[in-house]
Structure 1
Amino acid sequence: MNYRHIYHAGNFADVFKHILVLMMVDYLQEKEKGLFLLDAFAGLGLYDLNSVEARKTEEFLAGVSKIMEQERINPDLRLYQNAVAPYWNYKQYPGSPLLLAEKLRCQDRLLANELHPEDVCELECVLATFPAARVTKVDAYESIRAHIPPSERRGLVLVDPPFEKKDEFDLLVRQMKEWKKRWETGCYVIWYPIKSHLAVDALHLAARDLGIKRTWVAEFLLRERSAPESLNGCGVLVFNTPFQIPERLAALAPELVSALGYGRIESYDLFVS
């Protein structure tokens, strides 16, 4: 547990991931029925961008700062801006559990899980004012196993490991098979870094072979996926992708790339029917 997200909070990967997650929850909440949200690797929940750690890397300057510079035209970029703005005014960046908590309706609930002993204490403080949010401190994959399928039978599970473990991609493949057995109709959003395209390709192949409906991939690329660099981009692999999301991403992609001033976005289906 050496990974500290404060060094990377608000970077391009956060922006891309959080825009997509907010879009998906926005779509799922078009129905009145309650929604279960699970953030398996929740982190701190709120990040101080004036902290020594954040200022050491200043990755947020090439990420969220670019988006917040001016009002955006695309409605999904505005959705993201509006979610971040109350915290941005204090030079803070809301992590995924806080963004999800802010979206909760009275019929929804959130489970935010974090194993790091210091981070989980801060996370509890951040989410203390949200009665429908619960914090747990167990292994992330055990958290998922213990809470699916949810009683609501509708929901979204966010899985964004730090990828400290060398076998994290292999572990994900094993877990995905288990998720299908337990809750095949759930919406799972799996974030991953693109360092070795071979590992990512193997993940995609395993996901396709599971045959879960609307299995979809979206990637933000800094350079070619096979380039011998430390980080070539990031992506999300989604099972049971909410309808309209691929089209909504395609609509916002030009403005997002223009605002950041770099990168490109690619998306495609792995399995449809």
Structure 2
Amino acid sequence: MNYRHAFHAGNFADVVKHALFCRLIGYLQRKEKPFRVMDTHAGRGLYDLDADEARRTGEAVEGIDRLVASPAWDDPLLAEYRAAVEAARARFGTDTYPGSPLIARQLLRRQDRLSAYELHPVDAGALGELFAGDSHVKAIELDGWLALGAHVPPKEKRGIVLIDPPFERTDEIETIVEQLARAHARWPGGVYAVWYPIKRPAQHRRFHDLLRESGIPNIVAADFRREPHTAEERLVGTGLVVVNPPYTFAAEAEAIFALLQPVLTLSPGAECGIHVLAEE
């Protein structure tokens, strides 16, 4: 699956991913000690929902647009997410949607830092321009997998790594598990959040199985399907695997899914679930 993000910015998968991501950052904010956010596949950082790519698919209409128009947008569980989206729109325009690095930046405190990596030269250039002059952010044109191998642990020794690959390669899930295991061996105390699409049932099961067999402890998967699997094998859901999740994460993810389900689902056959793939 070629997941070119400019075509999908603000869709239901973004909403789910970013709502959960913000809660993970919020948990790190509970202590005064500084933390680092590392975004291995950062993209451009900001997307114009009125641009040709976004209008061609119209996916934001069934994602962030639905959420903003719903009562769920006012729920305290989405407070960090709402604050990040609204701050970006106040600065860049109401037709924009912030990518993960910009959302993370909106939530950083004075003592926290962000490292955002992007390999594509055009997107890396846009990312660098977005954060130009920002002393809290390093925007680096670099393969995210190389960054993950070379830049953990960060000097803060606290933080979260967001791994959000495009799923263009047939061996993407194997690469994720392999790279995640290597990073965890170098920095076992870090929080790792891995986004993934839910499209083919066999691939979804294999990904979870590989994580169970990886030897990495303390893994939780939060799966959100807005419709049943289809014969066309299209994107029907999204998930976030979290290594070293906060103790509140499973319950909060379940509550967030309860908020988002009536807003984002397309079918009565939609299902959500929180799965413990490895115990502490």
Distance apart, 1:254 and its partner CA: 2.0
1:227 deviates by 5.5
Q: Read off the aligned partner of 2:275 and give its amino acid letter.
A: Y
- Aligned counterpart, 2:101: 97
The aligned residue for residue 146 of structure 2 is: 142
When the two structures are superposed, what TM-score results if normalisation uses the length of structure 2?
A: 0.91
Distance 1:207 1:147 in 2: 22
| Partner residue, 2:130 | 126
Instruction: Name the CA distance, whole Å, in 2 between partners of 1:119 and 1:261.
Output: 31
Name the aligned partner's letter for residue 76 of structure 2.
Answer: P
C-alpha separation in 2, matches of 1:143 and 1:80:
26
Asked whether the equivalents of residues 11 and 63 of structure 2 are also in contact (C-alpha less than 8 Å), the reply is yes
How many residues align structurally? 272
Counterpart AA for 1:5? H
Code of the aligned partner of 1:172: I
The root-mean-square deviation of aligned C-alpha atoms, in Å, is 1.8
Distance 1:3 1:233 in 2: 14
Match of 1:168 in 2: 172
State the alpha-carbon separation in 1 of the partners of residues 42 and 218 from structure 2.
25
Q: Which residue of 2 aligns with 1:45?
A: 45
In the alignment, is residue 200 of structure 1 matched against residue 207 of structure 2?
no
Q: Tell me if 1:265 matches 2:265.
A: no
Query: Would you say 1:216 and 2:223 are equivalent positions?
Result: no
TM-score (norm 1): 0.93
Structure 1 residue 192: Cα displacement: 0.8
- Amino acid in the other structure paired with 2:194: I
| 8 Å CA contact retained: 1:39, 1:157 | yes
Q: Displacement, 1:69?
A: 1.0
Deviates more, 1:59-68 or 1:196-205: 196-205
- Which amino acid in the other structure matches residue 9 of structure 1? A
**Which residue does 2:26 correspond to in 1?**
26
- Give the letter for the 2:86 counterpart: A
Instruction: Write the deviation string for residues 129-183 of structure 1: whole angstroms up to 9, x where unpaired.
Output: 5311001111110011111111211110000110111111111122122122211
C-alpha displacement of 1:247:
0.8
Counterpart of 1:15 in structure 2 is 15
Aligned residue for 2:213, secondary structure, equals helix
Residue by residue over 1:53-90, the C-alpha shift from the partner in whole angstroms, topping out at 9 and shown as x without a partner, is: 11111100000001111453421223322221233452
- The equivalent residue for 1:76 is 77
Structure 1 residue 228 displacement after superposition: 4.9
Please state how far the C-alpha of 1:207 moved relative to its aligned partner: 1.5
User: What residue ranges of structure 2 are gaps of 5+ in the alignment?
Assistant: none
Q: Which residue of 246, 251, 254 maps to 2:255? A: 251
Where does structure 1 lack aligned partners over 5 or more consecutive residues?
none
CA distance in 1, matches of 2:43, 2:260: 25
SS at match of 1:136: strand
8 Å CA contact 1:47–1:93 kept in 2: the answer is yes
Q: Percent identity?
A: 39
